A and B are shown apart, each in its own frame.
Chain A
Amino acid sequence: MTAPRTLPVTDLSLVVLIGSTGSGKSTFAARHFKPTEVISSDFCRGLVSDDENDQSATGDAFDVLHYIAGKRLAAGRRTVVDATNVQPESRKHLVALAREYDVLPIAIVLDVPEQVCAERNAGRPDRAALPRHVIQRHQRELRRSLRGLEREGFRKVHILRGTEEIEAAEIVTERRYNDLTHLTGPFDIIGDIHGCSSELETLLAALGYVDGAHPDGRTAVFVGDLVDRGPDSPGVLRRVMGMVAAGTALCVPGNHENKLGRYLKGRKVQHTHGLAETIEQLEREDARDPEFRKRVADFIDGLISHYVLDGGKLVVCHAGLPEKYHGRTSGRVRSHALYGDTTGETDEFGLPVRYPWAEDYRGRAAVVYGHTPVPNTSWINNTICLDTGAVFGGRMTALRWPEREIVDVPAERVWYEPAKPLVTEAPGGHDGRPLDLADVTGRRIVETSRMGRLAVREENAAAALEVMSRFAVDPRLLAYLPPTMAPCATSRQEGYLEHPAEAFAAYREDGVEQVVCEEKHMGSRAVALVCRDEVAAEKHFGVTGGPTGTLHTRTGRPFFDDAAVTEEVLARLRAAVTTAGLWEELSTDWLLLDAELLPWSLKASGLLRKQYAAVGAAAGAVFPAALSALDAAAARGTDVGGLLGRQRERAADAAAFTDAYRRYCWTTDGLEGVRLAPFQLLAVQGRSLTGLPHDQQLALIDRLVEADPSGLLRTTRRLLVDTSDEESVAAGVRWWLELTGEGGEGMVVKPLAALVRDAKGRLVQPGIKCRGREYLRIIYGPEYTRPEHLERLRSRFLGHKRSLALREYALGLEAVDRLAGGEPLWRVHEAVFAVLALESEPVDPRL
């Protein structure tokens, strides 16, 4: 009896069975692989021709076979090809297919004597007529093939000779080396080190490592480029190799390790880009530890190009990796992982221009890499570069996973002069580039630091594209769009649909005690960007020809058709900023403000006339006639009592409706009568102020209002409420009743601390609006307060509105962060555009 032979087969590979007709391939495949893993040429022949033995269909059948195999491999599924594959041409196609999908081609040969094959065929009715010479030809071709299979490109070749060996064979599935999905960390991923041993030790200490091990059992992951340029590459290697050996770290190779490895194997390499320094340091090391060189060479030799970690959620490699290469095994995958992609051009410093692969990345896994020194780390499409140029005097950076927290330490000095200045920020260049359609259209995922990945649907992006292109202000000045805001939960109090008690309760539940109630101005939402002067506008926003900022609506449209009027508003705002001394105090050349522009009739006059005033006019015309007819009928003794009473109430409701909208309308002439009520300072040069508590926000704004002699600026009344204090809450409710009693729209309740998360770490709503009872007539119709209507209206669904409000909020913060962080225009625009797109999501418009 033959000893059982085990055949290692990689979990993701293209397995090619080779054997003449009748050699038992299908039986073998059925025994060792899942039925869906196996594609047989006979089956494909049947698919296209209804006859598994129709040789005239062979061409089409193999097209289908290759197509199915391709789809499976693209999806990362092992595939077994059950065909004779005795001819080199047929195998050549399959090897090419495996390469195309970056998987290992594996050959399993079933070498069975001709006689056995012939007997088996004879036993099958559909093959009984197969001429003997066909089997003989297959056998000849197989013989000729056996020795060349490795050369053809098969990475594993298993040859089973004779039926006994075939019977006894066992398949063992092997993991790919790069597949560490079973490891869940937590990890500390460390960027490029380049021999900066001292900084590495500082960083490891900052991350909590003690002598190469973390007390909480965290695992360090090095993205490579441990060596070259810096002062102590051997020290770094010793530390990293020690940690890897001890199992407290993983390491992927960088291009510098690769080159060092080739040098250590005695290959001829140029001693450039800092290799000379490493060689010198290694030579000094030889005296102390003659074996060190050999250990380094072995270490580098054993490094795996990239790792897939944490259930597939995390990919670590040196130079970045597109999704289709994750977990794949081929020369080009290794090459991309080590060197990245280049455009083929060279820049003015003679260095290859890197292809911004991250801009195209749409994968689910986060890709953490290094290789390209950047001044700041930032997430782009779920990828992040951790090379912050420690050796060039920058910082050494680590990323905590899954926390996504950045930990970094500054370089102790410039250890090596960079070949070019460290200016490239996000891939795409620090100047950015003109906005590209691919930044905004189609289904998109926008990476936010506050809420992770947010999706934009294609149809919403299409609508936003139209509005953005045709109506919005210059995108360079469009740094922010305000998020929508959810109303409070529906009130059960008699006569009310919304009541502030619900808002206070909601925040109390989220653990927010200090809230601020801000008067809600009933006008049109406005965002103002005001620069110190034309020069500042050109310097910071790149606009020429005069604009010193912008004043736009919540969809990015300019408020005034006449640019001169906008400039006049900005001039008054600027004067107030100057008088209040805020340019110096905030050390900025520009301010971005969220505000409300009044009156409502200024911008909404079309809607007012066509819809709101029209409803009032129609009601005003019809009721007097209808009521007098009913009175007359009643006087005649006709029983119209119920109807008459109802009509009187409806007439009163309609009159209340007219009163409601009239409060927000007044006549303006130029800027005469126009008011701007700022309520939040969003950002200044280099700094987002969205985290500044609202009382401090409002204090700054109060100073602006005081410093405005023109009467343009209007203050925002407010009241602080402690949601845990019943008396304070009651005061808040009274305040709201007063505000709305005098005709106000209502108020917005916000956590005083601005950016707040609940106990589970989720963002809480940045504000909850409580609209007044009379104001809501404009929204829900004149008669909404009638008990039967109110009852029906109470079943409203707030979930989607709340989610939308949070998503838009996170995107708005992201836009402001990116602007303040000096990121390229396309990065800011991406987030702003997404807010606009989300505004076109279907949601109950009355909320």
Chain B
Amino acid sequence: MFLTISTTGTAAAPATDLGFLLHKHPEKAQTFSTSYGTAHVFYPEASAERTTAALLLEVDPPALVRRGKGKGRGGAPDAALAQYVNDRPYAASSLLAVALRTVFSTALRGECRTLPERAAAPLPLRVEIPAVSARGGADLVARLFEPLGWRVEAEAVPLDTRFPEWGDSRYVRLVLEGELRLADALRQIYVLLPVLDDAKHYWVSADEVDKLLRFGEGWLAEHPEQKLITRRYLSRRWALTRQANERLELARLADADDIEVEEIDNAVEDDSTGPDGETEERPAPLAVQRREAILAALRDSGAARVLDLGCGQGQLVAALLKDVRYTDIVGVDVSARALEIAARRLRLDRLSERQASRVTLLQGSLAYTDARLKGYDAAVLCEVIEHLDLPRLPALEYAVFGSARPRTVVVTTPNVEYNVRWETLPAGHARHSDHRFEWSRAEFRDWATAVAARHGYDVGLAPIGPDDPEVGPPTQMAVFTLGTTASATTHDTTKDKKKEVAA
């Protein structure tokens, strides 16, 4: 990874002063050792008119890997393949930022004993970084540097000229020009390189907040993208702690299939996958309406022991916990990660004993029958069925209605007809990338009716959200009740008889 800093000058204020300001002699090539490899400083040109300093970091890729703990058997490194083949040796990222701070630490502080007035004054600067890792592309690069007074030339690097259909890479060839204090320029680059990179896997230390305050002084507070810069800069830290606790099993299965782990480990929405990472803080009103409709249906059913099948991060479980009528709440999800987050959100380890005894979280799968799910009053499948491939839906149907057989089953699913009312949703697109299908009202009704008939349930359908006269509601709900079948009737009669005897 590589960058150059150039300045122009006159006989009175020669460009070679850059050497003094950087504390690196223009006639020498010097090397410095950093945590991830060797940094070299040299000057491709050095004249009074124009002087260029180059910083080249020779990354030692095995050093990156050795940071990770080898937990594999026989001391073999245990990590996803991505650790071994990556862009770190080439693209400017946080590693180059670290090298920058190590090599030019005095300049970064704005100190120069020989030429203090030059260090304090703006210089005509030109910074070239031929490959900047930039999540957000050339556009974001401009948004970050232009407000600081730079003229920005940012050009996306194509992924592979042989395959133009692959499009652009995340790398940008960057040229910055402007009149700035050298220290400010260096600090901005130091902070913004990792922000642009937004990588989660590398280099982090506990004093990041402190560093951000120190090196952002004087320019960050006023920056229009201050929020994004702060979030991305610090997010690396949270991401890293999470990474450490995460299970690697799914990463290995992704490796086996030559796919990225995100393609299968996506049961939990990543907070930063929204448009440019903006987390939606308030719950969408539709989600609230859905929850209320489900809670109302459960109340009507008189259920006390409830299964939340596909509980995700436990939003519904939390709502059920608030109502004492539910004595036994079981959240089931196939994603171990979702369950971990649910446990954390529900604060299971800090609930009072009485409260904690009301809730259980289980890893399970509706593709299989599960004896643990038998004998409950009600089961909720809130926005679950559409995450299954259609051919596998009969297995879920049997697991829920044939095997677990709760008295009441509440199922909600999107109404695809309503999608045209969603202005942000491109035509023909599903609402969620993991939706394997979305049904119209007629399709859902047909399925629900057939399921009810096959398993001896009655079913009623209800809209959730505004019921559009033309396309119906955004979400549809079916409430199944076990009741009018022969077996259920006999069961009730025997109960009545017992009552008579008791009387």
Does A610 belong to the interface (CB within 8 Å)? yes
Contact residues in A for B369 (Cβ distance below 8 Å): 433-437
Q: Which chain B residues in 14-65 approach chain A with CB under 8 Å?
A: 27-29, 40, 42-46, 52, 54, 56, 58, 61-62
Contact residues in B for A435 (Cβ distance below 8 Å): 367-369, 395
User: Which residue of B is nearest A797, CB measured?
Assistant: B74
Does A779 belong to the interface (CB within 8 Å)? yes
Question: Contact: B334 with A638, CB < 8 Å?
Answer: no
Contact residues in A for B258 (Cβ distance below 8 Å): 524, 600, 603-604, 607
User: Which residue of A is nearest B339, CB measured?
Assistant: A462
Does A36 belong to the interface (CB within 8 Å)? no
Given A466-B334, A621-B131, also A845-B255 (CB < 8 A): yes
Question: Contact: A467 with B264, CB < 8 Å?
Answer: yes
Does B165 belong to the interface (CB within 8 Å)? yes
- Number of B positions contacting A (CB below 8 A): 91
Contact residues in A for B85 (Cβ distance below 8 Å): 611-612, 615, 778-782
User: Which residue of B is nearest A469, CB measured?
Assistant: B365
Contact of A619 among B29, B90, B253 (CB under 8 A): B90
Q: Closest CB of chain A to B396's CB: distance in Å?
A: 10
Question: Contact: A636 with B46, CB < 8 Å?
Answer: yes
> How far apart are the CA atoms of A638 and B133 in the complex, in Å?
30
Given A636-B46, A778-B85, also A462-B336 (CB < 8 A): yes
Does B392 belong to the interface (CB within 8 Å)? yes
User: Which residue of B is nearest A839, CB measured?
Assistant: B256
User: Which residue of B is nearest A658, CB measured?
Assistant: B160
Contact residues in B for A665 (Cβ distance below 8 Å): 162-163
Given A600-B258, A613-B169, A618-B157, also A465-B334 (CB < 8 A): yes
Question: Contact: A654 with B264, CB < 8 Å?
Answer: no
Q: Which chain B residues in 376-435 approach chain A with CB under 8 Å?
A: 387, 389, 391-392, 395, 398-399, 402-403
Does A464 belong to the interface (CB within 8 Å)? yes
User: Which residue of A is nearest B262, CB measured?
Assistant: A606
Contact residues in A for B62 (Cβ distance below 8 Å): 789, 792
Question: Contact: A799 with B73, CB < 8 Å?
Answer: yes
Question: Contact: A463 with B336, CB < 8 Å?
Answer: yes
Question: Contact: A633 with B395, CB < 8 Å?
Answer: no
At the interface with chain A, which of B76-84, B138-146, B206-214, B291-299? B76-84
Question: Contact: B1 with A622, CB < 8 Å?
Answer: yes
Q: Which chain A residues in 603-655 approach chain B with CB under 8 Å?
A: 603-626, 628-633, 636-640, 643, 646-647, 650, 654
Given A464-B253, A555-B256, also A438-B79 (CB < 8 A): no
Does B260 belong to the interface (CB within 8 Å)? yes
Contact residues in B for A796 (Cβ distance below 8 Å): 76
Question: Contact: A463 with B87, CB < 8 Å?
Answer: no
Contact residues in B for A555 (Cβ distance below 8 Å): 253, 256-257
> How far apart are the CA atoms of A545 and B248 in the complex, in Å?
37
Contact residues in B for A609 (Cβ distance below 8 Å): 159, 166-167
Does B480 belong to the interface (CB within 8 Å)? no
Given A474-B392, A614-B87, A632-B44, also A434-B248 (CB < 8 A): no
Q: Closest CB of chain A to B119's CB: distance in Å?
A: 24
Contact of A470 among B46, B54, B166, B264 (CB under 8 A): B264
Does B335 belong to the interface (CB within 8 Å)? yes
Given A545-B391, A613-B159, A633-B42, also A845-B80 (CB < 8 A): yes
Does B444 belong to the interface (CB within 8 Å)? no
Does A543 belong to the interface (CB within 8 Å)? yes
Question: Contact: A638 with B42, CB < 8 Å?
Answer: yes
Does A224 belong to the interface (CB within 8 Å)? no
User: Which residue of A is nearest B390, CB measured?
Assistant: A545
Q: Which chain A residues in 828-847 approach chain B with CB under 8 Å?
A: 836, 839-846
Question: Contact: A610 with B260, CB < 8 Å?
Answer: yes
Counting chain A CB atoms within 10 Å of each CB, the highest count among B27, B158, B171 belongs to B171
Q: Closest CB of chain B to A641's CB: distance in Å?
A: 9
> How far apart are the CA atoms of A524 and B258 in the complex, in Å?
8
User: Which residue of A is nearest B391, CB measured?
Assistant: A474
Does B259 belong to the interface (CB within 8 Å)? yes
Contact of A463 among B29, B247, B370 (CB under 8 A): B247
Contact residues in B for A437 (Cβ distance below 8 Å): 364-365, 368-372
> How far apart are the CA atoms of A363 and B503 in the complex, in Å?
50
> How far apart are the CA atoms of A617 and B87 in the complex, in Å?
9
Contact residues in A for B391 (Cβ distance below 8 Å): 474, 543, 545, 547
Given A462-B336, A463-B250, also A621-B171 (CB < 8 A): yes
Question: Contact: B249 with A613, CB < 8 Å?
Answer: no
Given A615-B85, A843-B73, also A441-B28 (CB < 8 A): no
Question: Contact: B130 with A621, CB < 8 Å?
Answer: yes
Does A471 belong to the interface (CB within 8 Å)? yes
Contact of B365 among A465, A524, A629, A636 (CB under 8 A): A465
Does A201 belong to the interface (CB within 8 Å)? no
Question: Contact: B169 with A843, CB < 8 Å?
Answer: no
> How far apart are the CA atoms of A97 and B432 in the complex, in Å?
58
> How far apart are the CA atoms of A616 and B233 in the complex, in Å?
26
Question: Contact: B395 with A662, CB < 8 Å?
Answer: no
Interface flags, B1-15, vs A, CB<8A=1, else 0: 110100000000000
Does B86 belong to the interface (CB within 8 Å)? yes
> How far apart are the CA atoms of A845 and B248 in the complex, in Å?
12
Does A499 belong to the interface (CB within 8 Å)? no
Does B222 belong to the interface (CB within 8 Å)? no
Question: Contact: B264 with A614, CB < 8 Å?
Answer: no
Does A312 belong to the interface (CB within 8 Å)? no
User: Which residue of A is nearest B387, CB measured?
Assistant: A470
Contact of B43 among A554, A636, A844 (CB under 8 A): A636
User: Which residue of B is nearest A829, CB measured?
Assistant: B368
Contact of A434 among B1, B84, B87, B398 (CB under 8 A): B398
User: Which residue of A is nearest B45, CB measured?
Assistant: A632
Does A459 belong to the interface (CB within 8 Å)? yes
Question: Contact: A842 with B73, CB < 8 Å?
Answer: yes
Interface flags, A778-807, vs B, CB<8A=1, else 0: 111111000001001000110110000000
Does A677 belong to the interface (CB within 8 Å)? no
Contact residues in A for B75 (Cβ distance below 8 Å): 797
Interface flags, B256-274, vs A, CB<8A=1, else 0: 1111100110010000000
Question: Contact: A614 with B61, CB < 8 Å?
Answer: no
Does B72 belong to the interface (CB within 8 Å)? yes
User: Which residue of A is nearest B71, CB measured?
Assistant: A842
Question: Contact: A615 with B87, CB < 8 Å?
Answer: yes
Question: Contact: A779 with B169, CB < 8 Å?
Answer: no
Given A469-B366, A629-B4, A630-B44, also A614-B169 (CB < 8 A): yes
> How far apart are the CA atoms of A626 and B87 in the complex, in Å?
16
User: Which residue of B is nearest A556, CB measured?
Assistant: B257
User: Which residue of B is nearest A843, CB measured?
Assistant: B72
Does A261 belong to the interface (CB within 8 Å)? no
Does B328 belong to the interface (CB within 8 Å)? no
Does A460 belong to the interface (CB within 8 Å)? yes
User: Which residue of A is nearest B370, CB measured?
Assistant: A437
Question: Contact: A842 with B78, CB < 8 Å?
Answer: yes
User: Which residue of B is nearest A629, CB measured?
Assistant: B44
> How far apart are the CA atoms of A470 and B337 in the complex, in Å?
14
Question: Contact: A434 with B256, CB < 8 Å?
Answer: no
Contact residues in B for A621 (Cβ distance below 8 Å): 90, 130-131, 157, 171, 173
Does B170 belong to the interface (CB within 8 Å)? yes
Question: Contact: B40 with A466, CB < 8 Å?
Answer: no
User: Which residue of A is nearest B392, CB measured?
Assistant: A474
Contact residues in B for A79 (Cβ distance below 8 Å): none
- 15 of the cross-chain contacts (CB-CB < 8 Å) are A438-B370, A438-B371, A439-B368, A463-B247, A465-B365, A474-B389, A609-B166, A613-B166, A617-B131, A636-B43, A636-B44, A643-B42, A647-B56, A800-B73, A839-B252
Name 4 extra pairs, CB < 8 A, besides A436-B370, A524-B257, A640-B29: A470-B267, A475-B395, A609-B166, A623-B90
Q: Which residues of A contact B (CB under 8 A)?
A: 433-441, 459-460, 462-471, 474-475, 484, 524, 543, 545, 547, 553-555, 557, 600-601, 603-626, 628-633, 636-640, 643, 646-647, 650, 654, 658, 662, 665, 667, 778-783, 789, 792, 796-797, 799-800, 836, 839-846
> Which 5 A-B residue pairings sit nearest by Cβ, starting from the closest?
A463-B249, A797-B74, A632-B44, A840-B249, A618-B90
